[in-house]
């Protein structure tokens, strides 16, 4: 997702048009379905809603800022972003990784955001509380870059990566040492190597040595 510092919209701006906000909710749900290869029922199970509720969401009839925080947290997880970033997308059309206290204060003071204050405060409080801890963790853990580097060096197209389930969210998790068996199998197939070899490389956060 884009790594940009956002400017939250002011009252009466086009970004507060309800149909637009609802449409972005639908887009976020569709992105979660496609990027994770979920059926609607599986996404329902992931975010904790019924298929009937999902149908209402997909019709664009629901304001996402009226949906429970827990549901939105699960949707953000499926998209590979944090909750404040997802809220920023609803309001601006762009995901963002940096939201300042000043942004939130200005947003809350705007007339257009008044009725959404409880959701805004709930969603942003955790990111401010955990901000320092996240920065410490990021500085302490160096990203594992070899998987992304090897895909680039072998000119593996984005379309091929997507078909194999190597989405941006999956690769971001892999860079932090998190991976699923399907990711190991995808790399083993791409590199024509044994699954055990690839898994060992991932677990030790090291490059897979070329065969002689």
Q: Which of 84, 66, 67, 64 is nearest to 76 (CA)?
A: 84
Residue 133: predicted pLDDT: 54
Question: What is the tens place of the pLDDT at every residue in 114-158?
Answer: 454 555 555 555 444 555 455 555 545 578 888 888 888 888 888
Distance in angstroms (rounded) separating the CA atoms of residues 119 and 46? 21
Mean pLDDT of 3-19: 48
> Helix (H, G, I), strand (E, B), or coil: what is residue 10?
coil
Between CA 36 and CA 175, with CA 96 as vertex, the angle to 5 degrees is 55
Non-local CB neighbours of 178 within 8 Å, separated by 6+ positions: none
Residue 56: the pLDDT is: 92
Find, among 183, 153, 138, the residue nearest to 203 by Cα.
183
Using one digit for the tens of pLDDT, what is the confidence trace for 152-206? Answer: 888 888 888 888 888 888 888 888 888 888 888 888 888 888 888 888 988 888 8
| Sequence-separated (6 or more) residues with CB below 8 Å from residue 164 | 186, 189, 190
pLDDT surpasses 70 at 54: yes
């Amino acid at each position: 997702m884009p790594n940009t510092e956002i400017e939250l919209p002011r009252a009466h701006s086009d970004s507060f048009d309800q149909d637009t906000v609802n449409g972005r909710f639908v887009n976020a749900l569709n992105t979660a379905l496609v990027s994770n290869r979920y059926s609607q029922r599986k996404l329902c199970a992931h975010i904790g809603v019924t298929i009937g509720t999902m149908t209402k969401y997909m019709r664009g009839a629901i304001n996402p800022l009226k949906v429970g925080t827990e549901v939105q947290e699960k949707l953000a997880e499926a998209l590979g972003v944090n909750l404040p970033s997802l809220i920023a997308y609803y309001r601006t059309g762009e995901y963002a990784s940096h939201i300042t206290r000043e942004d939130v204060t200005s947003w809350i003071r705007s007339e257009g955001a008044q009725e959404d204050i409880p959701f805004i405060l709930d969603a942003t409080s955790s990111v401010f509380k955990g901000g320092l801890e996240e920065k410490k963790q990021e500085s302490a853990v160096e990203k594992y870059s070899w998987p992304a580097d090897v895909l680039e060096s072998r000119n593996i197209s984005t379309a091929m990566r997507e078909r194999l389930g190597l989405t941006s969210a999956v690769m971001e998790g892999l860079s932090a040492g998190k991976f699923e068996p399907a990711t190991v199998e995808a790399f083993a197939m791409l590199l024509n190597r044994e699954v055990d070899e690839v898994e060992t490389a991932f677990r030790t956060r090291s490059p897979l040595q070329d065969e002689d």
